[in-house]
Amino acid sequence: MNNNNNDFSLNQRIPSVMIADEEVDFNQYLSSAEMSAIEHEVSIMETRESVGIEALKIVQQHRGWISDDSLIAIAQCLNISSAQLEGVATFYNLIYRQKVGHYVIHLCDSISCHLTGYDEILNVIKQHLNIVYGQTTSDGQFTLLSNVCLGSCDKSPAMMIGGKHYHSLTSDSVVAILNGLSQNVGEGND
Ligand code: FES
């Protein structure tokens, strides 16, 4: 069974009962590692407010995605409103406001990739993982999302997984990449 979702970027929260800001105490919620990484960013920026995106990335790195309570805790820590931080999170498509798999596949669906085999690559991924855009595999290993141009148009089709770019994709190379990553998770190497 797959997790259905119609938002291919997943940087918008799932409509639900919003947690009240007062229900979260960032001092207790954020780990010392998260706090010290955020404070490091604060020390090199002019205002706490300007650390929003970096703080979101830090917490996402530790927790995999940004839940409502994570968002509220970060906003408290930076002395900004949660609505203001939500705006930042929504604008940035690499912040996940919904739970994602261990690996998030960002497949480029812009023009150069469309001209060089995007459809075939998408079909291979869909068939190999048995998911469509916005879904996560039942074992929680992969989430599939579309992405605008990844800047590798001369080596298209392209995708990005875990910040790593993969170029000149073919059906065989995509399957090999996915199998390799899957094996990493199975062996606890990633
Ligand atoms: S169009 Fe796909 S990388 Fe630029």
Nearest atom in ligand 1 to 157's CA: 2
Summarize the confidence of residues 33-44 as an average pLDDT. 96
Two tokens, residue 168: 């000149």
Mutate to test the pocket of ligand 1, among 105, 106, 108, 167 (most ligand atoms within 8 A of CB): 108
Kindly state the tokens that stand for 22.
Answer: 């007062």
Q: Is the CB of 149 under 6 A from ligand 1?
A: yes
pLDDT > 90? residue 11: no
pLDDT value at 177 more than 50: yes
The finding on whether 153 has its CB within 6 A of some atom of ligand 1 is: yes
How do residues 102-159 score in pLDDT, each as one tens digit?
999 999 999 999 999 999 999 999 999 999 999 999 999 999 999 999 999 999 999 9
Domain ranges of the chain: 21-91, 103-186
Answer yes or no: same fold for 21-91 and 103-186. Answer: no
What's the rounded mean pLDDT across residues 163-170?
A: 96
Query: CA-to-CA distance for 187 and 183, rounded, in angstroms?
Result: 6
In sequence order, what DSSP letters do the residues of 117-175 get, joined into one string? Answer: THHHHHHHHHHHHT--TT-B-TTSSEEEEEES--S-GGG-S-EEETTEEE-S--HHHHH
Asked whether 146 lines ligand 1 (CB < 6 A), one says no
CA angle 59, 108, 159 (to 5 degrees): 65
Position 6 confidence tier, pLDDT thresholds 50, 70, 90: very low
Q: Bin 72: left if φ > 0, else alpha if -120 < ψ < 50, else beta.
A: alpha
The response to whether residue 112 sits with its C-beta less than 6 Å from ligand 1 reads yes
Write the DSSP symbol of residue 105.
E
Q: Tell whether ligand 1 has an atom less than 6 A from the beta carbon of residue 98.
A: no
Chain segment 71-81, per-residue pLDDT in tens: 999 999 999 99
- What six digits make up the tokens of 65? 């995605």
For residue 170, pLDDT beyond 90:
yes
Sequence-ordered list of residues with C-beta below 8 angstroms from that of 18, at least 6 positions apart, any chain: 68
Question: Strand pairing partners for 103?
Answer: 142
- The finding on whether 107 has its CB within 6 A of some atom of ligand 1 is no
- List b or e across 22-61, with b for residues whose CB sees 16 or more CB atoms inside 10 angstroms: eebebeebbeeebbebbeebbeeeeebeebbbbbbebbbe
CB < 8 Å & 24+ apart, contacts of 45-48: 48/77, 48/78, 48/79, 48/80
- Output the CATH code of domain 103-186: 3.40.30.10
The C-alpha R_g of the chain, in whole angstroms, comes to 18
Provide CATH code, domain 21-91: 1.10.10
Q: Which atom of ligand 1 is nearest to the CA of 113?
A: 2
